[in-house]
């Protein structure tokens, strides 16, 4: 198999001449048509001598036929480069079917020796490979050689050789025997193709023979006719008796007859063969899906542009089972009499704030609701309530455990807030409402304990208007679920309250983070995704929520989504992979079900701000991928445009369409090894989590930094950008660019942002202020503050310059100010001013403002090096003269510089540590940024560009860099940064106050 590139691939981007010529020569040998007909397709392996498997006659025909796989590779990837698009020290192996090259490393075949490598005859890449039904099939099915590692490859290759040899022997012995698929070493499909090939060869051979025979017969016939027409005399003349002539004619006629019989028997034999092939086909255990119209030529096969079909059925909303009752549980005499008495005494002494129909008092986490009069300055839970709170929390835990019995690691929401209502007299009431504030944890129940006068609470089902009354006797507890609040309102009707005093103690879990809670409903691909900020959590504390299991679309429970701000749906692959889903209309029906579920969710949870729908991820199964395409198409072209508040997971599309990410994805689909067609492994799940997190985050925070919505950002993978940006400290990614305009914008935006967004803004502000304060330590910045800068007009670089970089003109100004007045000399100025002004208009302006200062300075410099007095000269300054003057002026105003002394600043060296096996930590990154007076973002970008990797600042202010780097690498980059952006050795910026740096 040395015809493949038989040396490790260096840089796939710039293939070596050998790589190129090898690939080109192959291309010349076979077409890369997406549909490779078994009869026309010829493997390159059979063409080059080194590509041929010894004694194998079937190498070129045992490739499964799947147009999508080929076209997928064709349109998505450069066939000559591995889809990873990365430079790797690895062999390149090409797929026998689609001709896509892959690094052996990328297809986990690394470690191959040249010998092994040369043995590979027929290998199918992850795009083209369709897994056999069972492990047993795989071991026998050597014709479909896609292996996850070198060992299996060797084994399979060996099996292939054996099976090929066996097939050859069988075909020689008896072609008909091959029709029995069960005992054949070859798969049934393979057998068919073998026979077809044999038939073709036989057919050709037979037809040539027959043609020869027919020609001969024709010649004989003509000859015979000629002889007959010449008559017996002529025959006689040639010494043949008439009798013998007749005999001869009879013999010839017999021979012709025999030949005809042979011809018909050959034809019959061929027909027999054809029939056996037909019978084999009819017993094919894998019927093919009805053919579909071909995709538009330039469309992306994974995410095609045009929908081909709209759903067959309408989207009527079926009846939604609410499964909600207003009061989920009641406990009579929940309080002991003594406990109740004590509480009554306590509350009698408290001062309640009047609200509509009753008065209130809050403890613990502040609970704010429409019409609430309580301030956010709420007293903590008083000691007297603490035992009660503990009991309530126990009840809450029990409820939670019973709700999620199979998820014991989940922490139940902690009840942390108590709102006490006081009803005094028969005039009191409680307006109709529902406790559906987003600050209430979606999993929190609402516990109400009644004290004193009993009364009835009325519940009304909002949709139907059905009312029910719930009696609340003294010392009793009733529990409402947070979800029931989406369905029912409750109230104490006016006039229903008896005389007397009633206290109701309502307990809830208030969680501000749950203001933006997310409910993720998904199939097994969400298995690795976890909410929570603990170690297992993939979404982090910025995205609180709950995950619900829905292997199929029918399992999506709209009730579970109630009370969450965001709903993310990742489901459908198990539906469309069902065998009964065979054509586009079946897929459309699945899509319709999804649409119905979304409608139900929105109906039940009007509080839900958005439903995010994840498109289906491509799989390793190409037939399934066509259905995935159809499903995704419908989501994109029907669901998104038609359903308001249905959003797609940003980046998911890129994830699916982007070449690199798609390749990355295909490599992640191997959670259970080579037979897993669908599942992401942990790494893939992390990418998925990032994309979901980012979308929800952006939606929640008003689309902060939408610019980043590309598959690749600054050469970094989407996921890493997401990670960086969503990280608690990386949150300031946008602001780390240190764009001064942010400050302004933030101020404008602040009132409309959600709480976490406001926090981010505050963080950003803090950082901006901190940096500004740092900069104030330097005289430069003070001046800058005075300088009126229209920050809106500044571009990033300029902004950076204004905030941190040295501006010689500014410095001058300041010093000038200090020195100007006392030393004023009576020197001619106008020429200097004008000349200088011509040189640099900005300077001119400044000079005009501070004429006296410049008078002084320029007065000193009106002599050129040759001693000419410029004031008396008519000629203009030359550029060199002006430059020299400027430098002299700088020297003059910077005595250190003039004396040739360099101020030495000593800084800490970067602390470089290994972070896990694949990352490097630059531990004192932020500290060094501060010392440099450069924004972390700026420094980070430089580092990432220099190191050619990605990274992010984590919660410990360390820069985590992907890849392994040594101390000297980081030091080198840091020195370069300092040279380029700090000390000004190169003209990016100059900063005269930092001259020489050295490590401790």
Ligand X SMILES: O=C(O)CCC(=O)C(=O)O
Report the C-alpha gap between 474 and 267 in whole angstroms.
100
Whole-number minimum distance, CB 360 to Fe ion, in Å?
11
What is the total count of residues that contact ligand X (CB under 6 A)? Answer: 10
Q: What are phi and psi of 90, to 5 degrees?
A: -155, 155
Beta carbon nearer to ligand X, 509 or 959: 509
Whole-number minimum distance, CB 558 to ligand X, in Å?
25
Whole-number minimum distance, CB 480 to ligand X, in Å?
8
- H-helix or E-strand spanning residue 551: none
Which one of Fe ion, ligand X, none is in contact with 690 (Cβ closer than 5 to 8 A by kind)? none
Which one of ligand X, Fe ion, none is in contact with 448 (Cβ closer than 5 to 8 A by kind)? ligand X
Beta carbon nearer to ligand X, 449 or 622: 449
Beta carbon nearer to ligand X, 98 or 477: 477
Residues of 370-404 as b/e, b for ≥16 C-beta within 10 angstroms?
eebebeeebeebeeebeebbebbbebbeebbeeee
Which residue sits closest to ligand X, CB atoms considered?
504
Whole-number minimum distance, CB 394 to ligand X, in Å?
21
CB under 8 Å to 184, separation ≥6 — which residues? 167, 170, 178, 191
Which one of Fe ion, ligand X, none is in contact with 807 (Cβ closer than 5 to 8 A by kind)? none
Name the DSSP class of 821. T
Q: Which x/- pattern, by CB under 6 A, does the window 433-472 give for ligand X?
A: --x------------x--------x--------------x
Beta carbon nearer to ligand X, 74 or 514: 514
Whole-number minimum distance, CB 440 to Fe ion, in Å?
10
Which one of Fe ion, ligand X, none is in contact with 81 (Cβ closer than 5 to 8 A by kind)? none
Collapse the DSSP code of 199 into the 3-class scheme (helix H, G, I; strand E, B; otherwise coil) and give the result.
helix
Work out whether 365 is an interface residue with ligand X (CB under 6 A). no
- H-helix or E-strand spanning residue 717: strand 716-717
Q: Which residue has the tokens 């920050």?
A: 791
- Considering only residues 258 to 297 of the shown chain, the ones binding ligand X according to CB under 6 A are none
For ligand X, the binding residue among 61, 73, 164, 430 (CB under 6 A) is 430
Which one of ligand X, Fe ion, none is in contact with 989 (Cβ closer than 5 to 8 A by kind)? none
- H-helix or E-strand spanning residue 567: strand 566-570
Beta carbon nearer to ligand X, 381 or 661: 381
- H-helix or E-strand spanning residue 683: helix 682-700
Q: Which x/- pattern, by CB under 6 A, does the window 493-522 give for ligand X?
A: -----------x-x----------------
Report the C-alpha gap between 172 and 980 in whole angstroms.
75
Cβ contact 718:655 at 8 Å:
yes
Q: Of the candidates 287, 311, 303, which has an alpha carbon nearest to the alpha carbon of residue 68?
A: 303
Cβ contact 69:87 at 8 Å:
no
What is the DSSP secondary-structure string of 18-61?
HHHHHHHHHHHHS---SS--TTT---GGGTSGGGSPTT-S-TTT
Q: Which x/- pattern, by CB under 6 A, does the window 177-196 give for ligand X?
A: --------------------
Whole-number minimum distance, CB 514 to ligand X, in Å?
18
Beta carbon nearer to ligand X, 90 or 504: 504
Whole-number minimum distance, CB 672 to Fe ion, in Å?
48
Instruction: Estimate the crossing angle of helix 659-668 against helix 682-700, to 10 degrees.
Output: 130
What is the pairing mode between strands 566-570 and 518-522? parallel
Beta carbon nearer to Fe ion, 435 or 857: 435
Whole-number minimum distance, CB 467 to ligand X, in Å?
15
For ligand X, the binding residue among 46, 191, 421, 632 (CB under 6 A) is 421
- Alpha helices (H) in 49-149, listed in sequence order: 67-76, 114-119, 135-140
Q: Which x/- pattern, by CB under 6 A, does the window 469-498 give for ligand X?
A: ---x-----------------x--------
Which one of Fe ion, ligand X, none is in contact with 430 (Cβ closer than 5 to 8 A by kind)? ligand X
Which one of ligand X, Fe ion, none is in contact with 526 (Cβ closer than 5 to 8 A by kind)? none
Collapse the DSSP code of 938 into the 3-class scheme (helix H, G, I; strand E, B; otherwise coil) and give the result.
helix
End-to-end CA distance of the chain: 57
Whole-number minimum distance, CB 402 to ligand X, in Å?
24
Name the DSSP class of 310. -
Beta carbon nearer to ligand X, 109 or 434: 434
Report the C-alpha gap between 158 and 186 in whole angstroms.
14
| Site of interaction with Fe ion (CB under 5 A) | 435
Which one of ligand X, Fe ion, none is in contact with 421 (Cβ closer than 5 to 8 A by kind)? ligand X
Beta carbon nearer to Fe ion, 435 or 807: 435
Name the DSSP class of 102. E
Beta carbon nearer to ligand X, 486 or 856: 486
Collapse the DSSP code of 764 into the 3-class scheme (helix H, G, I; strand E, B; otherwise coil) and give the result.
helix
Whole-number minimum distance, CB 363 to ligand X, in Å?
13
Whole-number minimum distance, CB 488 to ligand X, in Å?
11
**Burial class for 225, CB neighbours closer than 10 Å (0-12, 13-18, 19+):** exposed
Cβ contact 734:548 at 8 Å:
no
Cβ contact 498:453 at 8 Å:
yes
For ligand X, the binding residue among 419, 438, 519, 660 (CB under 6 A) is 419
Beta carbon nearer to ligand X, 448 or 566: 448
Which one of ligand X, Fe ion, none is in contact with 157 (Cβ closer than 5 to 8 A by kind)? none
Beta carbon nearer to Fe ion, 94 or 435: 435
Whole-number minimum distance, CB 450 to ligand X, in Å?
6
Whole-number minimum distance, CB 359 to Fe ion, in Å?
15
Report the C-alpha gap between 710 and 650 in whole angstroms.
9
Whole-number minimum distance, CB 517 to Fe ion, in Å?
20
Beta carbon nearer to ligand X, 457 or 800: 457
Which one of ligand X, Fe ion, none is in contact with 858 (Cβ closer than 5 to 8 A by kind)? none
What is the DSSP secondary-structure string of 785-817?
HHS---GGG--HHHHHHHHHS--HHHHHHHHHH
Report the C-alpha gap between 70 and 59 in whole angstroms.
18
Report the C-alpha gap between 202 and 987 in whole angstroms.
78
In degrees, rounded to 5, the angle at the alpha carbon of residue 858 between the alpha carbons of residues 856 and 860 is: 75
Q: How far is CA 580 from CA 290, 312, 338, 924, in A?
A: 12, 16, 66, 59
Q: Of the candidates 578, 279, 689, 330, which has an alpha carbon nearest to the alpha carbon of residue 476?
A: 330
Whole-number minimum distance, CB 561 to ligand X, in Å?
23
Q: Which x/- pattern, by CB under 6 A, does the window 318-347 give for ligand X?
A: ------------------------------
| Residue numbers at the binding site for ligand X (CB under 6 A) | 419, 421, 430, 435, 448, 457, 472, 490, 504, 506
């Amino acid at each position: 198999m040395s015809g493949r590139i038989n040396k490790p691939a260096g840089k796939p981007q710039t293939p070596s001449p050998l790589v190129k010529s090898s690939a080109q020569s192959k291309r010349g040998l076979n077409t890369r048509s997406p549909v490779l007909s078994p009869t026309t397709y010829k493997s390159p392996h059979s063409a080059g001598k080194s590509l041929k498997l010894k004694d194998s006659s079937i190498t070129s025909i045992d490739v499964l036929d799947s147009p999508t796989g080929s076209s997928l590779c064709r349109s998505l990837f450069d066939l000559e480069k591995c889809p990873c698009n990365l430079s790797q020290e690895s062999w390149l192996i090409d797929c026998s079917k689609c001709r896509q090259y892959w690094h052996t490393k990328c297809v986990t075949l690394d470690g191959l020796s040249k010998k092994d490598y040369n043995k590979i005859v027929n290998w199918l890449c992850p795009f083209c490979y369709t897994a056999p039904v069972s492990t047993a099939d795989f071991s026998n099915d050597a014709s479909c050689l896609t292996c996850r590692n070198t060992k299996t490859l060797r084994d399979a290759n060996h099996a292939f050789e054996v099976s090929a040899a066996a097939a050859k022997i069988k075909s020689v012995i008896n072609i008909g025997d091959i029709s029995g698929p069960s005992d054949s070493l070859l798969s049934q499909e393979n057998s068919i193709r073998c026979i077809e090939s044999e038939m073709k060869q036989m057919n050709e051979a037979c037809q040539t023979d027959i043609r020869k025979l027919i020609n001969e017969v024709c010649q004989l016939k003509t000859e015979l006719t000629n002889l007959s027409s010449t008559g017996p005399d002529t025959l006689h003349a040639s010494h043949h008796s008439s009798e013998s002539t007749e005999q001869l004619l009879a013999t010839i006629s017999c021979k012709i007859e025999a030949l005809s019989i042979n011809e018909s028997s050959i034809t019959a034999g061929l027909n027999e063969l054809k029939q056996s092939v037909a019978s084999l086909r009819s017993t094919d255990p894998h019927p093919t899906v009805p053919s579909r119209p071909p995709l538009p030529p330039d469309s992306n096969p994974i995410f095609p542009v045009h929908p081909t079909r709209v759903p067959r059925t309408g989207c009527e909303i079926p009846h939604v089972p609410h499964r909600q009752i207003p009061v989920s549980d009641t406990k009579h005499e929940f309080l002991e009499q003594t406990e109740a008495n004590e509480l009554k005494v306590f509350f009698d002494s408290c001062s309640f704030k009047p609200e509509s129909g009753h008065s209130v008092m809050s403890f613990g986490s502040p609970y704010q609701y429409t019409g609430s009069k309580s301030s956010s300055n709420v007293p903590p839970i008083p000691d007297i309530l603490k035992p009660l709170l503990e009991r309530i929390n126990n009840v809450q835990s029990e409820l939670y455990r019973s709700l999620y019995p199979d998820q014991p690691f989940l922490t139940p929401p902690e009840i942390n807030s108590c709102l006490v209502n006081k009803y005094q007299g028969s005039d009191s009431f409680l307006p109709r409402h529902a406790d559906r504030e987003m600050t209430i944890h979606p999993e929190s129940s609402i516990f109400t304990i009644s004290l004193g006068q009993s009364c009835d609470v009325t519940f009304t089902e909002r949709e139907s208007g059905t009312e029910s009354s719930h009696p609340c006797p003294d010392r009793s507890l009733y529990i409402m679920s947070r979800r029931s609040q989406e369905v029912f309102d409750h109230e104490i009707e006016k006039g229903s309250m008896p005389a007397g005093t009633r206290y109701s103690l309502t307990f809830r879990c208030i969680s501000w983070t749950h203001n933006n809670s997310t409910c993720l409903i998904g199939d097994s691909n969400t298995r690795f995704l976890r909410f929570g900020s603990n170690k297992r959590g993939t979404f982090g504390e910025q995205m609180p929520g709950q995950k619900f299991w829905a292997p199929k679309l029918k399992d999506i429970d709209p009730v579970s989504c109630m009370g969450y701000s965001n709903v993310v749906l990742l489901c459908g692959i198990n539906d469309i992979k069902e065998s009964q889903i065979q054509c586009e209309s079946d897929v459309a029906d699945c899509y319709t079900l999804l649409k119905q579920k979304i409608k139900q969710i929105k109906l039940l949870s009007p509080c839900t701000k958005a439903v995010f729908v994840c498109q289906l991820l491509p799989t390793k199964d190409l037939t399934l991928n066509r259905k995935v395409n159809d499903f995704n198409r419908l989501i994109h072209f029907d669901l998104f445009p038609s359903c308001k508040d249905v959003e797609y997971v940003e980046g998911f599309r890129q994830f699916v369409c982007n070449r690199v990410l798609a390749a990355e994805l295909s490599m992640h689909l191997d959670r259970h090894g080579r037979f897993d067609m669908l599942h992401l492994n942990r790494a893939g799940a992390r990418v998925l989590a990032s994309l979901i997190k980012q979308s929800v985050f952006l939606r929640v925070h008003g689309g902060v930094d939408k610019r980043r919505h590309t598959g690749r950002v600054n050469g970094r993978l989407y996921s890493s950008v997401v990670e960086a940006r969503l990280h608690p400290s990386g949150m300031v990614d946008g602001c780390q660019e240190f764009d001064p305009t942010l400050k302004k914008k933030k101020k404008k935006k602040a009132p409309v942002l959600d709480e976490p967004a406001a926090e981010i803004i505050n963080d950003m502000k803090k950082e901006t202020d901190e940096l500004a304060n740092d900069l104030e330590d330097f005289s430069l910045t003070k001046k800058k503050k005075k300088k009126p800068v229209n920050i809106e007009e500044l571009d990033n670089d300029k902004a950076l310059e204004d905030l941190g970089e040295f501006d010689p003109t500014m410095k001058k100004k300041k010093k000038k100010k200090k020195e100007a007045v006392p030393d004023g000399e009576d020197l001619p100025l106008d020429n200097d001013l004008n000349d200088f002004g011509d040189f640099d208009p900005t300077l001119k302006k400044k000079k005009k403002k501070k004429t006296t200062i410049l008078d002084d300075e320029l007065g000193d410099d009106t002599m050129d090096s040759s001693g000419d007095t410029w004031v008396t000269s008519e000629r203009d300054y030359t550029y060199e003269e002006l430059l020299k003057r400027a430098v002299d002026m700088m020297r003059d105003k910077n005595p250190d510089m003039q004396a040739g002394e360099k101020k030495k600043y000593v800084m800490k060296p970067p602390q470089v540590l290994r972070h896990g096996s694949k990352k490097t930590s630059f531990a004192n990154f932020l500290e060094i940024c501060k010392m440099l007076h450069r924004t972390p973002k700026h420094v980070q970008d430089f580092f990432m560009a220099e190191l050619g990797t990605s990274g992010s600042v984590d919660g410990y202010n360390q820069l985590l860099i992907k890849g392994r780097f040594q101390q000297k690498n980081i030091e080198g980059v840091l020195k370069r940064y300092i040279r380029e952006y700090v000390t000004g050795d190169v003209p990016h910026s100059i900063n005269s106050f930092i001259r020489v740096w050295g490590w401790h």
